[in-house]
Amino acid sequence: MNRMTIPFVARADYARSADWVAALQRSMPAQRIVAFDQLSQSEKQECTVAIVANPDPQDLASLPALRWVQSVWAGVERLVAQMGSTDISIVRLVDPQLAATMAEAVLAWTLFLHRDMHTYAAQQQQRQWRALDYVRPQQRRVGILGLGSLGEAAAARLVATGFHVSGWSRQRKQITDVACFAGAEQLDFMLAGTDILICLLPLTPHTEGLLDARRLALLPPDASVINFARGQIIDDGALRAALDTGALKHAVLDVFATEPLPPEQWQWQHARVTVLPHCTAPTDMGTASAIVAENIARFLTSGTVPKSIDIERGY
Ligand SMILES: NC(=O)c1ccc[n+]([C@@H]2O[C@H](COP(=O)([O-])OP(=O)(O)OC[C@H]3O[C@@H](n4cnc5c(N)ncnc54)[C@H](OP(=O)(O)O)[C@@H]3O)[C@@H](O)[C@H]2O)c1
């Protein structure tokens, strides 16, 4: 088989392009991996696959033979929006290591809320010596929005720790020891019985603003929210109002509508908010490169494009 040239396409200001090219090249020694700006005009005519990290759509448009793009991120909403209606398949990263990293973060921050670490930190500031009542994990109802590759792994980790776990997806799932729900009506029902709500949904036209004032108000008193998916899924004003009144006890936010979170944004200083810098589940370059290499090898031997996202559904 001829050595194929595969471009890595990212924005000019992306700091890790050279690292990605090196890691991908190590995983695919039989192919030639190059940064997009190193491609010759004739090479551009021949590329059938590109590996992408938030690419400029105009760069992709200059590859006339392109059949599919492999993202090195799990969330591809920006790519979907920018590419519009297209015959080019978009393949997102599905990596068991990423799911394990996210499940670890979900467990860590669920325990943070469950064991009232935020309250003890605040009490320390006031030199206040006060032990709160202990609640067993079996008494804590954790609800996960999105039971995909990340949500399902997170659910398993929470179940193993003893939490009472429920989950919501588009199609109803069957997962051992997880109460599974689907559809708008069942979402309302699930929210009413959730003490810690964890968002692991993709951002699509159907999930944008999903957690609005009405739905947040369905959560029981003292409920908390963890958003590890995308900022736009929670209505910002509604979240702030629910935290201001104390209807919501705490929010752990790793993702925001604008990132980095601008210094003037309210979340930084809010006593009921923990701000994280989109750090819960970073892509592991080594494991991701191996998965990308497998996908490309299969395409080269059989012509099969890996499972791609459904543009209509948005994920
Ligand atoms: N913070 C971080 O560091 C970080 C890192 C990686 C990823 N992420 C985010 O995590 C998201 C989820 O990743 P994933 O790999 O788990 O995605 P995935 O495998 O595509 O799973 C998505 C889940 O959401 C459900 N869903 C989608 N639209 C829905 C709707 N309208 N109503 C109800 N359920 C809906 C899907 O339901 P079905 O099962 O019925 O299809 C599925 O269970 C990514 O899109 C990304 O935004 C964040």
pLDDT at 106: 99
Counting from 1 in the atom list of ligand 1, the atom nearest the Cα of 280 is 3
Is residue 178 within 8 A of residue 155, CB to CB? The reply is: yes
d(CA 276, CA 148): 22
pLDDT tens for the chain, residues 1 to 315? 568 999 999 999 999 999 999 999 999 999 999 999 999 999 999 999 999 999 999 999 999 999 999 999 999 999 999 988 899 999 999 999 999 999 999 999 999 999 999 999 999 999 999 999 999 999 999 999 999 999 999 999 999 999 999 999 999 999 999 999 999 999 999 999 999 999 999 999 999 999 999 999 999 999 999 999 999 999 999 999 999 999 999 999 999 999 999 999 999 999 999 999 999 999 999 999 999 999 999 999 999 999 999 998 999
pLDDT at 1: 59
* Single-letter residue type at 252: V
| Predicted structure pTM score | 0.97
Measured in degrees and rounded to the nearest 5, phi and psi for residue 141 equal -95, 115
pLDDT at 158: 98
**What tokens appear for 244 in the block?**
């201001």
For the Cβ of 99 lying below 6 angstroms from any atom of ligand 1, the answer is no
For the Cβ of 227 lying below 6 angstroms from any atom of ligand 1, the answer is no
For 32, residues 6+ apart whose C-beta sits below 8 A from its C-beta are 3, 4, 5, 6, 25
For the Cβ of 72 lying below 6 angstroms from any atom of ligand 1, the answer is no
Is residue 282 within 8 A of residue 72, CB to CB? The reply is: no
Write the DSSP string, 98-155.
HHHHHHHHHHHHHHHHHTTHHHHHHHHHTT---PPPP--GGG-EEEEE--SHHHHHHH
For residue 252, CA distances in Å to 89, 176, 268 come to 34, 27, 11
Nearest-CA residue for ligand 1 atom 1 is: 228
Burial of 148 (0-12, 13-18, 19+ CB in 10 A): middle
d(CA 21, CA 211): 38
Write the DSSP string, 31-63.
SEEEEGGG--HHHHHH--EEEEES--HHHHHT-
For the Cβ of 71 lying below 6 angstroms from any atom of ligand 1, the answer is no
d(CA 140, CA 39): 54
Whole-number Å distance, alpha carbon 200 to ligand 1 midpoint, is 5
